[in-house]
Amino acid sequence: MELNEAREQLKRLQAKMSAFGHAMALIYYDGATTAPKGTAANRGQTLGILSEENYRLATGEDTVTLLEYLDTQKEALTETEARIVEVALKDIREMKKIPMEEYVAYEQLLVEADDVWHTAKETDDFELFRPLLEKIFDYQIKFASYCAPDKHPYDYCLDKYEDGLTMEKCDAFFAALRSRLVPLIQRIGAAEPLSDRCLYGDFDEGKQEAFARALMETMGIDMAHCGLGMTEHPFTTSLGSHHDVRITTNYQRDNFASSMFSVIHEGGHALYDMGSADELAYTLLDGGVSMGIHESQSRFYENLLGRSRSFISYIYPKIKECFPEEMASCTAEDVYRAVNVVTPSLIRTEADEVTYCLHVMVRYELEKRVISGELAVKDLPAEWNRLYKEYLGVDVPCDREGVLQDSHWSGGGIGYFPSYALGSAYGAQLLRRMKQEIDVEACLAEGNFAPINEWNRKHIWTFGCLKKPGVLLTEALGEEFDPYVYTDYLEKKYSELYGLA
Amino acid sequence: MELNEAREQLKRLQAKMSAFGHAMALIYYDGATTAPKGTAANRGQTLGILSEENYRLATGEDTVTLLEYLDTQKEALTETEARIVEVALKDIREMKKIPMEEYVAYEQLLVEADDVWHTAKETDDFELFRPLLEKIFDYQIKFASYCAPDKHPYDYCLDKYEDGLTMEKCDAFFAALRSRLVPLIQRIGAAEPLSDRCLYGDFDEGKQEAFARALMETMGIDMAHCGLGMTEHPFTTSLGSHHDVRITTNYQRDNFASSMFSVIHEGGHALYDMGSADELAYTLLDGGVSMGIHESQSRFYENLLGRSRSFISYIYPKIKECFPEEMASCTAEDVYRAVNVVTPSLIRTEADEVTYCLHVMVRYELEKRVISGELAVKDLPAEWNRLYKEYLGVDVPCDREGVLQDSHWSGGGIGYFPSYALGSAYGAQLLRRMKQEIDVEACLAEGNFAPINEWNRKHIWTFGCLKKPGVLLTEALGEEFDPYVYTDYLEKKYSELYGLA
């Protein structure tokens, strides 16, 4: 094989896989946003075929030959090419361990599961979803046994979302959080409660959408390359490359803050994806490198920036402009306090910053036990409810507001949840680092996201998947990861808010 | 090769091509409905790759070997399989005449052209669109020279949309229409004009959308498998199979009838596509057989049914329910007259039934001359305006309301327009035939589309592309096509409406 021809072939292969990725992501996005209700089977048929084609392309003999040749020529490759070869070979070696029929059947199962989960959630019917969820867990266990027979299967799941993550690391991380959060939550519980009543009213969906677009613009999101849709569960997806990204939100008629923070959260994901260097477009290095780093960006924008006093003071007049009647008697400080009320609650996506990680821990415990074979899927609802009582002190009234609330499991995202907590903690340390160079509070007070975005672009976004997540994070931080930076941040912010001694 | 294995391979090949078709149609649909503005190049990249894959699949050596083998085994195949082989071989023989690079470049050109046309129309800037339109015409001429070197290139274009259609047939057909329509239009012009002022007001888009959905349900469209979107130019598309169809409309704030008739028109296309026998799903015989037959269904629902006194009497209370204030002082008869006002006008999609075909004739003349090399693309706007003056007596104030109004040329649909006029005429004759069996007026007056839909399903829809359009039409009609049935219908209806002697 001739080197330059091989490099050309690599480029074409990457472009082809991006095209398949574009088609599959769009079919999923369509299903979640605008597709008619009865069309899931039709999408399943197409996704089954496209994922089979994609599998053949990614793991075919020609591809392996090409990559193995290029692997011997590393010195002659650019850094980007070398990393593509490295990541692709790793993926292939893993993918080839999964029989193609099972891979395709699993992809089709996820389409059906997504559809059934929606109905199950709507009708509060876990039993409807149970057989599909059992199959999803079974596939995960089976895939783990194929791909990482020496590992605990849940370590395989965790590693998929955060390179190198294990139950051991998670346990230590969550223990650190717990040691500081539980006392904080107790002290807050004993303090004078804050009110969030100014978030409630009757908020027209059209006006909420206009506000969502205004927020995206404020955040510096390039609206020519980022769309906004409406779905049951908000998410972000890239179509083909970072040149076309879509975020979604869900409008609650009685509470404008729900969509507001979903938009800022998904907007953070979008900024990260869209910030990849242009040369990475149409390669597998395009977009975010791990879910932990991804959540460090989304929860950075949502909480560290979005729920700060400086940002609320900036955005407050815009909120009033959009909802003049509902907000007539509220001050900026009212809104700041309202969006930071700490209350143990039922729904993760609406949880406050302080109790949020407890929601994640419930899911972590349950996934770990189901994957380990210690807990049956049929017992998930009861265990869910028991852990919510134990960790958060709340009674779960129905599965719809309990075990059926998240879309992750129906999408196969087992092992994903810890990324949310890790990302939150990464974000706090990134902010501390950023503040050594930038007056972040002053930027937020002026709605000027440009310097903040530039810092993130330079230290995080532009690299796409060029660096491993651990390296990327440590280099951006200039030091090792320390979960106590996050708990310090929470203690300081909420002590002031709740007037704790 | 073994016969049964070959039949299985045929099935898989068809399914794979349907999956590619699904992906490509959805990417187009996304571009027209919700994609952010700056993402056309990204879609072009993916569509280029997918169409290249699809081309390889459709014309590859394996496929040709398979089809040619099955062609020798026709007696052992089902009717459906035999027809698939016949159509696929015809397509391949044609497709193979076009070099793949040109085919792919053309597909990418169309993505760009669609985007540029939108901007050109918005900004009334034909010069922006001109270079792309020139390329599209050039490709059509080149493709005609590859595929049908013995034919006039415009005959090649016409035949693509209506099997067997030629300039000779079109000339004769349009001459027949002209001989009866021109005097009718003159007599109407001399009569007391009707008023359409009851269609005008301020119609909320949300309410128009609710009305559109109600119309679709009245028409008997299965909403679990048919979606409704919003685009600049209304269209209908199938995604993968007839199990997922999307129609689009465009809401005019000041006139509810514009979207109403777009929805009924596209709804007719959707009913036809969705009515294919289930065994045709995921084969190239799924959906409508030609644009002429397609338009015979869409314009059948839009005009022959939708603009009838019986249907308007049925739908009138629903219109009042949706727009109580705007419609307070209008009667059903006012609406019936308003939606049938005859006025020579600028915009084809909003033209009345009587002058509609003149709009088509303008496009036919212009396409014929550009393809023949008698007219340069740069001179299209001036010629367009001259012909509108000559045929319709109207002055075209700007290209936006003139040569830039339709999306067909930017989509490569040269040779498509005559189908609209032919379809209208087919529809009138189909209605006359249907009325021998069904009391259509009574059904419409009750909003009962079931018997009408069943007739169409039995005689037209269920066959998909099993029969050639000419055979399908003649068998459904039980006689030869006669354009004067259409002109008789128009003369009768409009003589009554305008009180002509």
**What is the model's pLDDT at position B501?**
77
CB contact under 8 A, B43 and A241: no
Instruction: Name which of A404, A394, A428 is nearest A307 in CA terms.
Output: A428
Mean pLDDT of chain A: 96
Record the tokens describing residue B253, joined without a space: 């704030």
Angle of helix A3-33 relative to helix A79-95, nearest 10 degrees, comes to 60
What is the tens place of the pLDDT at every residue in B118-172?
999 999 999 999 999 999 999 999 999 999 999 999 999 999 999 899 999 999 9
Distance separating alpha carbons of residues A111 and A31, to the nearest angstrom: 9
Q: Is position A266 annotated as part of the catalytic site? A: yes
Domain range summary for chain A, segments of one domain joined by +: 3-149, 167-498
Nearest Cα to A486, choosing from A260, A477, A416? A477
Q: What is the mean pLDDT of residues A339-366?
A: 96
| Cα–Cα dist A63/B69, whole Å | 31
- Mean predicted confidence (pLDDT) in A290-313: 97
- Judge: B30–A30 Cβ closer than 8 Å, yes or no: yes
Q: What residues of B are in contact with residue A26 (Cβ under 8 Å)?
A: 23, 26-27, 30
3-state secondary structure of B243: strand
Distance in angstroms (rounded) separating the CA atoms of residues A81 and A73:
11
| Residues of chain A contacting residue B26, judged by C-beta atoms under 8 Å apart | 23, 26-27, 30
What is the arithmetic mean of pLDDT over A9-23? 96
- Owner of token pair 């242009």: A278
3-state secondary structure A117-142: HHHHHHHCCHHHHHHHHHHHHHHHHH
Ramachandran region, residue A59 (left: φ > 0; alpha: ψ -120 to 50; beta: rest): alpha
| Residue A304 in this model has a pLDDT that exceeds 80 | yes
* A360 vs A92: CA distance, rounded Å: 31
Contact A421, A357 (CB under 8 A): yes
Question: Would you call B26 and A27 a contact, using CB atoms and an 8 Å cutoff?
Answer: yes
Helical (H) or strand (E) element with A28: helix A3-33
In Å, how far is B23's CA from the nearest CA of chain A?
5
Whether A35 sits inside 8 A of B243 (CB atoms) is no
**Do residues B5 and B68 lie in contact, with contact meaning Cβ atoms separated by under 8 Å?**
no
Cβ contact A38–B224 (<8 Å): yes
- Give me the residues of chain B with pLDDT under 50, please: none
pLDDT band at A95 (very low <50, low <70, confident <90, very high): confident
Please indicate whether, in this complex, the C-beta atoms of A225 and B34 are within 8 angstroms of each other. Answer: no
- Report the relative pairing of strands A241-249 and A226-230 from DSSP bridges: parallel
Alpha helices in B148-253 (DSSP H): 153-161, 167-190, 205-218
| B23, B27, B224 ranked by CB distance to A50: nearest | B23
pLDDT, position A488? 98
Identify the band that residue A316 occupies on the pLDDT scale cut at 50, 70 and 90: very high
What pLDDT score does B111 carry? 85
- Are A356 and A424 spatial neighbours (Cβ–Cβ below 8 Å)? yes
**What's the CA gap between B375 and B369, in Å, rounded?**
5
Centroid of chain to Cα B185:
25
CA distance B218 to B212: 10
Calculate the alpha carbon distances from A122 to A117, A233, A346, B227, B409 in Å: 8, 12, 16, 21, 45
What distance in Å separates the CA atoms of residue B414 and residue B405, rounded to the nearest whole number? 14
Task: Give pLDDT tens digits for A394-443.
Answer: 999 999 999 999 999 999 999 999 999 999 999 999 999 999 999 999 99
Query: What's the confidence (pLDDT) of residue A111?
Result: 85
Is there a contact between B39 and B73 (Cβ–Cβ < 8 Å)?
no
Mutant choice from B27, B39, B246 vs A, greatest count of A C-beta within 10 A: B39
| Interval A274-282 mean pLDDT | 97
Q: Do A36 and B226 touch (CB under 8 A)?
A: yes
| Contact status, residue A212 vs residue A306, Cβ threshold 8 Å | no
> Residue B469's pLDDT is what?
95
**Number of residue pairs across A and B with CB atoms under 8 Å?**
117
pLDDT in tens, A359-398: 999 999 999 999 999 999 999 999 999 999 999 999 999 9
Give A-chain residues touching B224 at CB under 8 angstroms.
36-39
Across the interface, of B27, B39, B239, the residue whose CB is closest to A243 is B39
Q: How far apart are the first and last CA of chain A?
A: 71
Catalytic center residues of B: 266
* Whole-prediction pTM: 0.91
Q: How far apart are CA B349 and CA B261, in angstroms?
A: 9
Least Cα distance to A415 among A381, A376, A366, A459 occurs for A366
Query: Chain A partners of B42 at a C-beta cutoff of 8 Å?
Result: 22, 239-241, 243-244
CATH placement of domain B167-498: 1.10.1370.30
